[in-house]
């Protein structure tokens, strides 16, 4: 039987591809420090669990394709606090930010089209873009330049007749880079001038560590037809397993087309939408505590990484990842060795290998993305293990 050539062009996720091996390693009694996946260990706030207990419908019925009003209104309330007025039909609930990405790409892309985005980028973007028949046109960025990309010449060099959108992740994954208001406005202007979309993945919005202003693409009047925002409760409220997000746009034609996907798969989950609506009632102070903890973790990780000779990394301004180059030949080979042949006191580490974070061939082979989503002492220990491992690997 023939399978889809588009699917065969896609790769497994570097965040998850080693999971089967990791399972076997744990069965051997080895402890793995998981730096591979952005799964916060922060407790999901109580309102979510209370909503589960309080769910009193007799039938767990389909939600409307357009979403459960309580959830839509919760999202509206959240955006209202940053001065963005949304109507219910400018928001569609999705099964996580992940599904918002899938449906957005499926709605705007045809075969041969391109999406311009800075690299390194979140690898799962590539799968959804590829399945829509299109490809990523990367704006190369470099740790030495703090992953800078918001420059007219650099961006416009990537735009051609196949371009349907510019895509920014703000704060960035894996780079942690943040667009200043002026930079975001530049991206909006470029998109508008070229009559293309600006898709803003803003799921890490609260994770900004030096108090920089972080604006949403929705906060700039005059770009309503161009802006599509991808949002989610996953990182904001440590509710990754709820699979609740949304796609937001004031472009009515876009939303009308996306609705076809929503109706096709009927609805997002009922209980999770209701429980997520409850999360949006959290006091904003909640974010202060979470941010402080993550800042500590980031600082711990970066300080420890800088102790390892040959490691190159920056200080990410947001999100919860550090992208770094390791002094090894091949991160994938190194990761396999870390699982199958190495342990330090019965402990080892798992990270996400860097090559799938790039569209430019050859980039990222010795790079890794490390998530600082475990507690600071464990982070310190994990990077100590990494240091020991690098030395052993290079002298094996």
Site for a copy of itself in 249-268 (CB under 8 A): 251, 253-254, 257, 259-261, 263-268
CB of 227 to a copy of itself, least distance (A): 11
CB of 384 to a copy of itself, least distance (A): 25
Strand, coil or helix: 134: coil
Site for a copy of itself in 164-193 (CB under 8 A): 164
Which stretches of 133-205 are DSSP H helices?
Answer: 152-156, 181-193
226 binds a copy of itself (CB under 8 A): yes
Distances (CA, A) of 63 to 49, 71, 247, 254, 313: 20, 11, 16, 22, 45
Residues in the chain: 396
Residue closer to a copy of itself, measured from CB, 85 or 195: 195
Site for a copy of itself in 73-132 (CB under 8 A): 95-96, 98-99, 102, 106-111, 124, 127-128, 131-132
> Phi and psi dihedrals of 313, rounded to 5?
-150, 165
CB of 173 to a copy of itself, least distance (A): 13
Which stretches of the chain are DSSP H helices?
Answer: 5-9, 19-27, 46-54, 69-80, 96-108, 124-131, 152-156, 181-193, 252-264, 270-279, 285-305, 331-340, 376-394
Residue closer to a copy of itself, measured from CB, 200 or 269: 269
CB of 98 to a copy of itself, least distance (A): 4
Site for a copy of itself in 12-31 (CB under 8 A): 12-13, 15-17, 19
Residue closer to a copy of itself, measured from CB, 64 or 327: 64
CB of 228 to a copy of itself, least distance (A): 10
Site for a copy of itself in 273-302 (CB under 8 A): 275
User: How far apart are the C-alpha atoms of 138 and 121, rounded to whole Å?
Assistant: 9
Residue closer to a copy of itself, measured from CB, 61 or 210: 61
Site for a copy of itself in 36-65 (CB under 8 A): 37, 39-44, 48-49, 52-53, 55, 58-65
What is the C-alpha radius of gyration for the chain, rounded to an integer number of angstroms?
21
Site for a copy of itself in 137-166 (CB under 8 A): 164
Count of residues touching a copy of itself (by CB under 8 A): 84
* DSSP-assigned letter for residue 208: B
94, 227 Cβ separation under 8 angstroms: no
User: How far apart are the C-alpha atoms of 68 and 63, rounded to whole Å?
Assistant: 6
């Amino acid at each position: 039987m023939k399978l889809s050539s588009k699917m065969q062009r896609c790769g497994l996720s570097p965040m998850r591809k080693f999971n089967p091996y990791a399972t076997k390693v744990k069965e051997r009694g080895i402890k793995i420090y998981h730096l591979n996946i952005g799964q916060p260990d922060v407790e999901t706030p109580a309102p979510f669990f209370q909503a589960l207990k309080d769910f009193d419908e007799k039938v767990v019925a389909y939600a409307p394709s357009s979403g459960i009003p309580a959830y839509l209104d919760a999202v509206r309330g959240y955006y209202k606090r940053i001065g963005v007025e949304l109507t219910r039909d400018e928001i569609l609930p999705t099964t996580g930010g992940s599904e918002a990405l899938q449906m957005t790409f499926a709605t705007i892309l045809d075969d041969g089209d391109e999406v311009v985005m800075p690299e390194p980028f979140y690898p799962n973007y590539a799968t959804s873009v590829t399945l829509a028949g299109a490809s990523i046109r990367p704006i190369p960025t470099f740790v030495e330049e703090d992953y800078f990309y918001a420059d007219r010449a650099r961006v416009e060099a990537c735009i051609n007749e196949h371009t349907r959108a510019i895509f920014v992740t703000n704060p960035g994954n894996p780079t942690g880079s943040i667009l200043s208001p002026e930079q975001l406005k530049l991206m909006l202007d470029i998109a508008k001038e070229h009559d293309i979309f600006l898709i803003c993945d803003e799921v890490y919005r609260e994770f900004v560590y030096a108090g920089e202003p972080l604006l949403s693409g929705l906060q700039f009047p005059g770009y309503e037809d161009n802006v599509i925002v991808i949002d989610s409760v996953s990182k904001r409220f440590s509710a990754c397993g709820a699979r609740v997000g949304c796609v937001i746009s004031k472009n009515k034609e876009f939303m009308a087309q996306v609705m076809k996907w929503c109706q096709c798969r009927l609805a997002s989950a009922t209980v999770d939408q209701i429980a997520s609506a409850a999360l949006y009632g959290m006091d904003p102070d909640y974010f202060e505590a979470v941010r402080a903890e993550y800042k500590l973790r980031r600082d711990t990780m970066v300080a420890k990484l800088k102790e390892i000779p040959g490691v190159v990394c920056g200080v990410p301004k947001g999100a919860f990842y550090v992208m770094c180059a390791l002094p090894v030949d091949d991160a994938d080979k190194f990761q396999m060795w870390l699982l199958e042949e190495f342990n330090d006191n019965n402990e080892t580490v798992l990270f996400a290998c860097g090559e799938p974070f790039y569209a430019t061939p050859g980039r990222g082979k010795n790079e890794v993305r490390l998530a600082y989503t475990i507690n600071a002492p464990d982070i310190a220990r994990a990077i100590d293990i990494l240091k020991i491992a690098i030395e052993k690997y290079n002298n094996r």
